[in-house]
Amino acid sequence: MIGGFDVAAFVAATLAEDLGSGGDITSAAVIPTDARLSAVMASRDDVVIAGLPLAEAFFHALDPDCRVTHLVHDGDRVAAGTPVMRIEGNARALLSAERSALNTVQHLTGIATMTRTYVDAIAGTGAVLLDTRKTLPGLRALEKYATRMGGATNHRLRLDDGVMIKDNHIAVAGGVEPAVRAAKVAGLTGVVVEVDRIDQIAPALAAGADRLLLDNMDVPTLKQAVVLVAGRVPTEASGGVRLDTIRAIAETGVTYISVGRITQSAPAADIGLDFA
């Protein structure tokens, strides 16, 4: 489901955090051992769904025999009030797993939903929305999965997953050109270099940069940069991109637009689990 992510370990650690050493003492006191529960998970917002397979994993972890029916799929856009999953099984177990399952789906759905608003905002421009490494520690794979469900393309997952020469690298290396040349001498490919001034573009290209990250440039400067690059390498706009500015940025002709807000600032979706 999520490449390279250990779902079983995540589920076990999350449940251990929530159950503690004593387990769900409320359910144990109030709910008979053999009581059954039939419940429906439903969205109370218009959302793009993400995380349902993870929710299922939580329920199965505490009741391996429970029956889970997916009523929609991750990546689907659903209206407020839409049932997204039905769960039937041991009441104690399902209620003990409820919070962990909901927290995960709410968080990932929130990211997917915000991502889709950004994707929709640049529809037809040809620009591709990228996510970033601005994710919660330990949840990067999940959050990047959610951005994919919202229609974005994943940027690098880890520091060993792609070469990106940023401003601090450039400062320490002594400039754009020596930084790029050093990466090339090291045998690295797909070298992305951050430039925040027009006069850095020519040295970066001369040194062999494979992509330019145009950082914190306003729209007129982005237009100038795209013309100067003239399609020789892909371009990526980054820095301070908001929903109300992304369309104008996309219309400058940049290849990619990276947005940290889709993982950093997405509010949790309102999704509940109710007796049915």
Whether 99 is a known active-site residue: answer yes
Annotated catalytic residue within 86, 148, 156, 166: 166
- Phi, psi for 272 (deg, rounded to 5): -125, 165
First to last CA, the chain: 28
Whether 166 is a known active-site residue: answer yes
Q: Identify whether the C-beta of residue 51 lies closer than 8 Å to the C-beta of residue 70.
A: no
**Both structure tokens of 189:** 């490919």
Whether 134 is a known active-site residue: answer yes
Burial letters for 92-105: b for 16+ Cβ neighbours within 10 Å, e otherwise?
Answer: bbbbbbbebbbbbb
Q: Identify whether the C-beta of residue 249 lies closer than 8 Å to the C-beta of residue 237.
A: yes
Show the beta-strand stretches assigned E in the chain.
Answer: 36-43, 47-48, 67-70, 77-78, 83-90, 128-130, 164-165, 192-195, 211-215, 235-238, 256-258, 271-275
Q: Which of 150, 152, 155, 158 is nearest to 108 (CA)?
A: 150
Annotated catalytic residue within 133, 134, 156, 247: 134
Q: Identify whether the C-beta of residue 123 lies closer than 8 Å to the C-beta of residue 88.
A: no
Whether 120 is a known active-site residue: answer no
Annotated catalytic residue within 63, 143, 177, 194: 194
| Helix ranges (DSSP H) in 174-267 | 176-185, 201-207, 219-229, 246-250, 261-264
Distance of alpha carbon 2 from its chain centroid, rounded? 12
Annotated catalytic residue within 77, 99, 156, 247: 99
**Residues 6+ away with beta carbon under 8 Å from 94:** 37, 39, 59, 62, 63, 66, 87
Q: Identify whether the C-beta of residue 41 lies closer than 8 Å to the C-beta of residue 105.
A: yes
Positions annotated as catalytic residues are 99, 134, 166, 194, 215
